[in-house]
Amino acid sequence: MANTHVLVGNGPRRVIALHGWFGSARGWGPMVDVLDTDAFTYAFMDYRGYGASKSLAGDFSMAEIAADTLALADHLGWDRFSLLGHSMGGMAIQRVLLEAPGRVERMVAVTPVPASGVPFDDATWGMFSSAAATPAVRKGIIDFSTGQRLSSHWLDLMTAHSLGNATEEAFAAYLLAWAKTDFAASLAGNPVAMKVIVGEHDPSLTADVVRATYMATYPNAELEVMSNAGHYPMDETPVALATSIERFLAA
């Protein structure tokens, strides 16, 4: 059985989209409303423990996400497809590439976690680890990651979506998956065409981080810094993000 997913569009270009730690298949914001549904078909997948797949048991790992993504592609009858990943999903699409490089056409990683994971000092790790059980910490992380410049109401909406669309067990386990997993060496020199998009107000996953990770790993990667966006450009600058993604995937 394939993971739950949301299909958008009926175009010939096929894209599987993998969400972030705070997201879900239905957590891609107003960007979804401006996608080119004549040119593209998008499959927005829920991870195990998330969204409509909250009841699915699993080990909540990057390898499992990749296996589930490939199972979804088989379910849809998609032999070849492009990948779109946000944040944690940016790491996950790289794991899909590692497992099935011949099936991946192009990739877009949005404010993405590198395949090498993310280093934390003890205090920050303690704070992130407490987010699973503490809504205020989730809100604080979202606020920080968008440059502490957006409304409290929007932060509350994002926090509520996270709380309603992930089990506490899965949310806690995926932190270990995206922060402590490292398979970057296995991808060094991979020729896939990739675009990496970061937000100018994201204080952690910056252009410098991308240059030291993605750009050093993928010889055919390009980098864009999106103005007026932090970690969630699908909410902050949805039209600009959709335009950037689709221009690259259609090239």
Residue 1 has pLDDT above 80, yes or no: no
Determine the pLDDT at residue 159: 98
Please give the CATH topology (third level) of the domain spanning 5-249: Rossmann fold (3.40.50)
**Domains in the chain: boundaries:** 5-249
Q: Whole-angstrom Cα distance, residue 196 to residue 245? A: 10
Computed over every residue of the chain, the mean pLDDT equals 97
Q: Whole-angstrom Cα distance, residue 39 to residue 135? A: 39
Segment 190-207 shows an average pLDDT of: 98
Residue 193 has pLDDT above 80, yes or no: yes
pLDDT tens string 88-115: 999 999 999 999 999 999 999 999 999 9
- Indicate the pairing of strand 5-8 with strand 40-45: antiparallel
- Provide the angle, in degrees to the nearest 10, between the axes of the packed helices 122-129 and 168-180: 150
Determine the pLDDT at residue 2: 81
Determine the pLDDT at residue 196: 98
Q: Using 50, 70 and 90 to split pLDDT, how confident is the model at 251?
A: very high
Segment 175-187 shows an average pLDDT of: 97
Q: Is 20 helix (H, G, I), strand (E, B) or coil?
A: coil
What is the chain's length? 251
Q: Using 50, 70 and 90 to split pLDDT, how confident is the model at 30?
A: very high
Residue 34 has pLDDT above 80, yes or no: yes
pLDDT tens string 132-161: 999 999 999 999 999 999 999 999 999 999
